[in-house]
Structure 1
Amino acid sequence: MKAALYARYSSDNQRDASIEDQLRICRARAEREGWTIIDSYTDRAISGASLLRPGVQELIADGLKRRFDVILTESLDRLSRDQEDIAGLYKRMRFADVSIVTLSEGEVSELHIGLKGTMGALFLKDLADKTRRGLRGRVEMGRSGGGLCFGYDVVRTADPDDRGEREINPIEAAVVRRIFRDYLAGQSSRTIAMTLNEEGIAGPQGKEWGPSTIHGNPKRGTGILNNELYIGRLVWNRLRYMKDPDTGRRVSRPNPESEWVVHEVPGLRIVDQSIWDDVKARQASLAFDTTGDSGNPMNDRRRPKHLLGGLIKCGCCGGGYSLISKDLLGCSTARNKGTCSNRMNIRRDALEASILNGLRKHLMEPELFKELCSEFTREVNRLRIERGADLVGWQREFERVDRELDKMVEAIFQGYPPLKLKDKAEKLEARKAELAELLANADEPPPLLHPNMAHVYQERVGKLCENLQREEDRGPAVDVLRSLIEQVTLMPDNEELAIILRGDLGAILRFAAGKKNPDFLSEAEALDNLLSQGSLVAGGRIDLDRTYAHFRRGKGKTEQLL
């Protein structure tokens, strides 16, 4: 039996050797069971509250490819402490015929998932409550309640009961005072951020300055201009943080003011009260609605959504392209931080027209798609040969088990006591039934891609483009088109913008087939293998994971680069 090992520890406070300790005792168990270890997967200093961890994601992907038969780990909470996540992982592994075995619980069943999942969730909640209790105790003494804001240093001490003290960092404090002065002088937060970046002054946590780092959100108390610690007022528990179950990212939510914990700490004042009051007055005068959630008009204004919103990236810095006017798109990093050299803009309607044309005519060219079909067929056949080796082994074992059972029947006829053969016979019968099921399901030939899918795809995209022009059909058409696009990259090239369109092959194939789960996706391993490697097609490299087309927009025409 082929086994995969998994180990994890939660925080930087734990030793890295914890990983090796977990793997060592798992290897010992695998040796006793006679299992062959295929690979080991690890996550270091990452909480088990989410499955968005590189090690466990690789483990799940390989499990779905059936690289191994069993996952071996120290305990179930190493895989996840979240009820939903551990149940989903268990369900997916069951579907792939991969069992989960832990040193603590043995072979994991539905009962373990229910009980241990609940215990893991309660552990996380209890840990969070105790942590907040300890932090509040520090705040009541005027110390840090977690986190370090720009302008201060932590006072290092060996006494765990004397931690949380802060002191003013003179260099950073001077930058804070400068930001307040420049803002009062009429400069925008964007101008201030760009100037600081140009001068090479590092921002909070050593990162670049951005406008939101400076103006923040006055009601939430975020941003340099809204941090009341700069006037010697410590406010704790203004916000609470929750993890988005879909992305795993922390999202802040405001707490009622009655739940805030406020302490005066005059020794940490950096900004004079008069300057602070003048800044608050300027923020209020610039706000469209001083009663709203934000004192910054840029935060209050909801920008219009467009067809490609969130999908467009700058080829120079990797940042997003966003609307800088009603119809013009530009690099957000270049505009807001000044750290990107890409100052080229593009009209939104021209970009959308180019992308729709690329989707319709170039993203699934029939000749290239024929090559993809051939590659897919070759990969499926290769996997069939590999599976054939398993098939021969299963067939031989089935015949051997059958012979053993015949011998036992013959032994009973010869007068051998049946009770002494009972246990062995039951095991052989169970293995025979298992092999019979494997052999019955192994011969199903997976259906292959049909080259005509490229033409069907182009017709369906053409129909979608027509639906975009009709108001009643536009919403669903936008959702479908966005699902086909992985990313649009804009790269300056000789005073023009090259447009690199990357489509999601899996979504495109589903769309072309017209089904949610088309039959050919049953050959998931073949597609996965193709998606993880490039292939040489027609003398040039084509990335089968993200089929793409290049276009250059300029001089009133669109040209195909590839």
Structure 2
Amino acid sequence: MIEQIKAALYVRLSQEDRNKLHPEDNSESINNQIMLLKSRCEKEGWIIYDIYNDDDFSGSDRQRPEFNRMIEDARLHKFDVLLCKTQSRFCRDLELVEHYLNYMFPVWNIRFLSIIDNADTSNRQNRKARQINGLIDQWYLEDISENVKAVLSAKRKKGEWVGSQAPYGYAKSPEDKHKLIIDEPAAKIVRYIYRLYINGLGYASIVRRLNDEQIPPPAKYKNLKEVSSHKKTATRGLWCYYTIQKILSSQVYIGNTVQGKSEKLSYKGEERRYKPQSEWDIVENTHDAIVSYDTWHKAQIIRSTRSTPYKQDMKNTVFSRMCKCVYCGATLNKHTYHNSPMLECPTKHIKTGICPGCVITVKRLEEIVIDEIKDHCQRLMDVSAVKSKIDSNVEINNRRQEILKSIESAIKKQKLLKNRLTSLYMDKADGIISINDYYQFKNAIDADSVEIDTTIKLLESKLLSIDDEMKVFENNQTIVNQYSNIEKLTHNELMFLVDYIEVGGTRDNRIVRIHWKF
């Protein structure tokens, strides 16, 4: 029985392209893409394995959830064919196009097919066309990025609001989304915060009062108003120091628009460059003020004379933004007590009873982490010892050599078939064999050639798996050699070894959980 071909369908639409009746609905274009791809599957007699839908994601985004799930399923060969409407729906990043379409998919024995522009990895003559399409798609993204940046820059310089959401205390005008209007319920809280601060309360006292009075913080307030918020923090639903600091320092509340504080380094990623204040786009009197200039100015004078409690200042510690509270998940803040750097969970001070909190000196945590690194290296050495036994039996190396020999043998057979085909063509041209015999022999040779190509791809895939296996052991050995006798820890070394660290407990019953990268 012939095994039926399984097809995966990938559909995508950028946020700027979408045309939805309701936010929860798939866009009409997404549905049209699915219908087109299903129709092709019915025509070919393919069964649909799964539909991967990345709606509202750019083609240059490497963090698309469904795209990455699809790639993982392709690596495990859960389907045979991947269908897209166009190559650009799959990806607009030339580097990814080259990596997957022209290298990994053939290795995984996955056929990529786009309906409209006929990109087809089963057709070797199609490769240049795919590369040209990829280059054009990347140029398109670069042009779009530059055009969007120019338009947004012009709007910012005119004082038009270009943020995706309005600042807390304001809303976007229904008549003009680039103009801010006062949102009175939130504006009332902004004025309340300024009044408390000017009357002598500090950040910590204001935070506790707002939380005790169960006043929704900006993120929760926006969610209650059905305005989406993508921020995910450990203290979501509670006021925190940074929010108060931001409100008390922002010029937006005296009617000025301040934008362009940072810029993306590349349209391909999310990494940003924070610009000096001289490069910001500041336009005065663009909207109604929530607080008077005198009130705002008094707050700035007070801010300049007060220190910020539990300030997130991690410049002088190896644990910069790497430690979390084991109870609530909040990032630990650094502060100094009797000239001793401490790490402390800020949530305990935000609202009474919400988190037992944790406090630890940087010195003590460093001692614990260094001991844990040494223990971890010892465990890796145990694994490396097992690897050494395997190596002593030459098991992995023998398997690798056998595969290399098999690949070499298959390549030789492929060359012989090509020579035989050339000879066969000459026999046809000289009249030694008939045209019918030529095509009969040619079809047989082509079938053998396809079978050998498939064999080579499978062998190369096995070789990659073995190489990955060996790299894991080599990395472990490198870590053991470099860190087994470590005495002093740096931030870069910690970043290399650790994802994050959970801290909790007390001085006599300390909890430290290290989440390793290896």
TM-score (norm 2): 0.69
1:346 equivalent among 352, 360, 382 = 360
Q: Is 2:451 aligned against 1:435?
A: yes
Please give the per-residue CA displacement for 1:165-189, whole angstroms capped at 9, x wherever unaligned: 5442332222111211222233333
CA 1:124 to 1:258, structure 2 compared with 1: closer, same or farther past 3 Å? Answer: closer
DSSP 3-state at the match of 2:329: coil
Please give the per-residue CA displacement for 1:299-321, whole angstroms capped at 9, x wherever unaligned: 79663122x44332222222222
Find the counterpart in structure 1 of residue 239 from structure 2: 209
Q: Is 2:262 aligned against 1:248?
A: no
2:343 equivalent among 329, 337, 350 = 329
Find the counterpart in structure 2 of residue 485 from structure 1: 498
DSSP 3-state at the match of 2:9: strand
Q: Is the 8 A contact 1:73 1:102 kept in 2?
A: yes
Q: Identify which range, 145-154 or 86-95, moves more after superposition.
A: 86-95
> What CA distance in whole angstroms lies between the structure 2 residues aligned with 1:430 and 1:488?
58
Please give the per-residue CA displacement for 1:491-525, whole angstroms capped at 9, x wherever unaligned: 448983322233234xxxxxxxxxxxxxxxxxxxx
Find the counterpart in structure 1 of residue 116 from structure 2: 104
The offset of 1:75, in angstroms, is 1.9
* Runs (5+) with no aligned partner, structure 2: 21-25, 120-126, 221-235, 400-405
> What CA distance in whole angstroms lies between the structure 1 residues aligned with 2:280 and 2:364?
52
Q: Is the 8 A contact 2:380 2:477 kept in 1?
A: no
TM-score (norm 1): 0.64
Q: Is 2:43 aligned against 1:24?
A: no
Find the counterpart in structure 1 of residue 321 from structure 2: 310
Q: Is 2:283 aligned against 1:269?
A: no
CA 1:168 to 1:130, structure 2 compared with 1: closer, same or farther past 3 Å? Answer: closer
1:165-180 matches, cutoff 5 A: 166-180=180-194
Q: Is 2:125 aligned against 1:114?
A: no
Structure 1 residue identity aligned to 2:243:
T
The offset of 1:255, in angstroms, is 6.8
Q: Is the 8 A contact 2:324 2:503 kept in 1?
A: yes
The offset of 1:72, in angstroms, is 1.7
> What CA distance in whole angstroms lies between the structure 1 residues aligned with 2:15 and 2:457?
45
Q: Is 2:232 aligned against 1:227?
A: no
1:120-519 matches, cutoff 5 A: 120-130=141-151, 135=155, 147-156=165-174, 162-164=176-178, 166-206=180-220, 207=236, 208-215=238-245, 223-231=246-254, 233-235=255-257, 237-242=259-264, 248=270, 252-254=274-276, 256=278, 260-265=282-287, 268-286=288-306, 303-306=315-318, 308-325=319-336, 326-335=340-349, 340-361=354-375, 365=379, 418-420=434-436, 425-439=441-455, 442=458, 446=466, 461=480, 464-469=483-488, 479-480=492-493, 482-492=495-505, 496-505=509-518
> What CA distance in whole angstroms lies between the structure 2 residues aligned with 1:32 and 1:180?
67
The offset of 1:150, in angstroms, is 1.2
> What CA distance in whole angstroms lies between the structure 2 residues aligned with 1:420 and 1:255?
79
CA 1:494 to 1:255, structure 2 compared with 1: closer, same or farther past 3 Å? Answer: closer
> What CA distance in whole angstroms lies between the structure 2 residues aligned with 1:119 and 1:366?
47
User: What is the Cα-based RMSD across aligned positions, in Å?
Assistant: 4.8
DSSP 3-state at the match of 2:299: helix
The offset of 1:7, in angstroms, is 0.8
Q: Is the 8 A contact 1:361 1:458 kept in 2?
A: no
Q: Is the 8 A contact 1:71 1:100 kept in 2?
A: yes
> What CA distance in whole angstroms lies between the structure 2 residues aligned with 1:150 and 1:494?
40
> What CA distance in whole angstroms lies between the structure 1 residues aligned with 2:314 and 2:484?
26
CA 1:254 to 1:423, structure 2 compared with 1: closer, same or farther past 3 Å? Answer: farther
Find the counterpart in structure 1 of residue 7 from structure 2: 3
DSSP 3-state at the match of 1:106: coil
CA 1:85 to 1:55, structure 2 compared with 1: closer, same or farther past 3 Å? Answer: same
2:90 equivalent among 79, 96, 114 = 79
Find the counterpart in structure 2 of residue 14 from structure 1: 19
Ranked by relative contact order (alpha carbons within 8 Å, sequence separation 6 or more), the top structure is 2
CA 1:66 to 1:225, structure 2 compared with 1: closer, same or farther past 3 Å? Answer: same
Q: Is the 8 A contact 1:316 1:341 kept in 2?
A: yes
The offset of 1:118, in angstroms, is 1.3
> What CA distance in whole angstroms lies between the structure 1 residues aligned with 2:377 and 2:454?
40
> What CA distance in whole angstroms lies between the structure 1 residues aligned with 2:477 and 2:262?
48
Q: Is the 8 A contact 2:334 2:342 kept in 1?
A: yes
> What CA distance in whole angstroms lies between the structure 2 residues aligned with 1:92 and 1:336?
52
> What CA distance in whole angstroms lies between the structure 2 residues aligned with 1:340 and 1:58?
36
> What CA distance in whole angstroms lies between the structure 2 residues aligned with 1:495 and 1:34?
68
Q: Is the 8 A contact 2:311 2:333 kept in 1?
A: no
Find the counterpart in structure 2 of residue 508 from structure 1: none
DSSP 3-state at the match of 2:15: coil
DSSP 3-state at the match of 1:324: strand
The offset of 1:367, in angstroms, is 12
The offset of 1:59, in angstroms, is 1.9
Q: Is the 8 A contact 1:136 1:145 kept in 2?
A: no
* Runs (5+) with no aligned partner, structure 1: 216-222, 288-295, 385-390, 506-562
